[in-house]
Amino acid sequence: MAIQTLFGTPPADSPSPDGVSLLDRLKAGIQKTRSGLIEKLEDAVSGRKEIDADILEEVEYALITADIGANTTAEILERIRQRVERHQLGDAAEIKTLIREHLLEILEATERPLPHVAQPPAVIFVVGVNGAGKTTSIGKLTRRLQSEGRSVLLCAADTFRAAAIEQLEVWAQRTGAEIIKQQTGADPSAVAFDAVQAAKARKVDYVIIDTAGRLHTKTNLMAELEKMRRTVARVIPDAPHEVLLVIEATTGQNGLEQARKFTETSAVTGIILTKLDGTAKGGVVVAISRELNLPIRYVGVGEQLDDLLPFDPAQFVASLFD
């Protein structure tokens, strides 16, 4: 898989340091979802030719329990019924192919090309509620970008929590990235301004800005994020180039509602989905992508530093079905 970057120079797909390809890492990461969904689908269609109400009910159960979402599930069932009526679907085994096609369609429909950054630094905001794995994702994203030969500067603009600055410092030490910080309670926009200025002066490729884990009810915090956007744009006119929203894969409908608020107020451009390995409900990738109409940019599939993978719809679907 070619990894598209903000600088438009995708390096060749190289295995990670442990010699395992991205596709194999993804397959291992979504094993729980894969076994749950595919086993249930196999049970539904196995040894049966005729497509009847019982099969459709079992297919529905398989899709819903994988958290693919009510809307997508309803669409898939309707598509199956229509094809049966038109005699275009003669065999229950073909249902799997139809589901696969539909999921890929949804994920590809929300794909967005990365903005091209002619001159570094590229500026990435990382947003999301506390506890979703925001700071950890920043650390892993730093390592991912470094593995592509890029330099990274971290910005501790979550100045509301002392622990947030300390956590980011730990990740800076682990990855060897530079960090710009001020004391707790400092103006986040001032920290962001310092960071983009420093990155520009030092010719760093990426600035990753950590923001407060703002709950969607705190409108003043959303206003703070907007102020930060205006501030960095004064230094680098088209910044931020990406605003990545961190969501936990185990989040459920409540998390989706929070995510919706973020996308309405924060001009989110993509999603980092964490803890995908810890759930059998990995179909939430499809539900989130569809409901928010946003591309999934990265998925977290483990605790290790290298366990944040670039997301590719075709690879994700292949990992589920092949």
Is the pTM of the predicted complex or chain greater than 0.85? yes
Helix (H) or strand (E) holding 294: none
- Continuous segment of H or E residues that includes residue 139: helix 134-147
pLDDT, residue 229, reads 92
The secondary structure element, H or E, covering residue 124 is strand 122-127
Strand ordering across the sheet containing 152-156: 178-180, 152-156, 206-210, 122-127, 242-248, 270-274, 296-300, 308-310
Question: What pLDDT digit, counting tens, does each position of 172-195 carry?
Answer: 999 999 999 999 889 999 999 999
Quote the pLDDT of residue 124: 96
| Helix residue ranges, H only, 3-123 | 22-29, 31-45, 53-65, 70-85, 94-109
Q: Quick one: pLDDT at residue 7?
A: 63
Instruction: Give the per-residue pLDDT at 71.
Output: 87
What is the reported pLDDT for 320?
Answer: 85
The tokens describing 128, both together, are 């999301």
pLDDT digit string, tens, across residues 115-128: 888 888 999 999 98
Euclidean distance between CA atoms 289 and 264, whole angstroms: 15
The tokens 């099969």 sit on which residue? 55
pLDDT score of 264: 76
Confidence (pLDDT) at 252 = 62
SS3 content of the chain, % helix, strand, coil (to 5): 50, 10, 35
Between CA 221 and CA 287 the distance in angstroms is 27
In contact, 128 and 213? CB cutoff 8 Å: yes
What is residue 218's predicted lDDT score, i.e. its pLDDT? 59
CA-to-CA distance for 201 and 234, rounded, in angstroms? Answer: 15
Instruction: At 150, give phi and psi (nearest 5°).
Output: -105, 150
Q: Which domains does the chain have, with CATH numbers?
A: 122-268 (3.40.50.300)
DSSP strand pairing (122-127 vs 152-156): unpaired
* Spatial separation of the C-alpha atoms in residues 144 and 167, rounded to whole Å: 18
Strand partners, 210: 126, 156
Collapse the DSSP code of 206 into the 3-class scheme (helix H, G, I; strand E, B; otherwise coil) and give the result: strand
CA distance 152 to 175: 9
Q: pLDDT tens, position by position, for the chain (322 residues)?
A: 445 667 665 444 444 545 567 778 888 888 888 888 888 888 887 877 778 888 889 889 988 888 888 888 998 889 888 888 887 777 777 888 888 898 999 999 998 888 888 888 999 999 988 778 899 999 999 999 999 899 999 999 999 887 899 999 999 999 999 999 999 889 999 999 999 999 999 999 999 999 987 655 556 777 888 899 999 999 999 999 999 999 888 876 666 777 787 787 778 999 999 988 877 677 888 888 888 899 999 999 888 888 899 999 998 898 888 7
Name every residue whose Cβ is closer than 8 Å to that of residue 162 and which is 6 or more positions away in sequence.
184
**Residue for token digits 């009510």?**
70
Q: Which of 229, 223, 224 is nearest to 124 (CA)?
A: 229
> Which residue in 285, 306, 273, 322 sits closest to 22, CA to CA?
306
Residue 28 contacts residue 57 (beta carbons within 8 Å): no
